[in-house]
Amino acid sequence: MKSEAFKKLDYRIVHPANGDLILKEEYWPADARWVLTDFQMSDEGAQRGYWTPRFILAQDHKIILTVTGNDGWKQKMWPRILEVTGTTAS
């Protein structure tokens, strides 16, 4: 969260009381519910929607990457965030 990349993101956390609620619209910020809708319509959302932790990167009202787990964050999501924000890891 102290990175230059973070300063360029609209970062949201969806953390309901239990994992069964993660795909319930009422637990998502109103202006980010489109992400849930689009995710649920994707193959990934239909097949592995409840897998957590899940990280979703969206840009220009389109999901561009979704990954699960700490390895998914480190190996795929963080490098992609650096790419789309034009920043480097510090």
Q: Which secondary structure element, helix H or strand E, spans residue 37, and what is its range?
A: helix 33-41
Say what the pTM is.
0.87
Question: Tokens standing for 12?
Answer: 């949201």
Structural domain boundaries in the chain: 6-85
Average pLDDT over residues 53-75: 95
Q: How far out from the chain centre does Cα 26 lie?
A: 17
Whether a cis peptide bond, with omega within 30° of 0, leads into 53 is yes
Average pLDDT over residues 68-89: 95
Q: Tens digits of per-residue pLDDT, 20-42?
A: 888 899 999 999 999 999 999 99
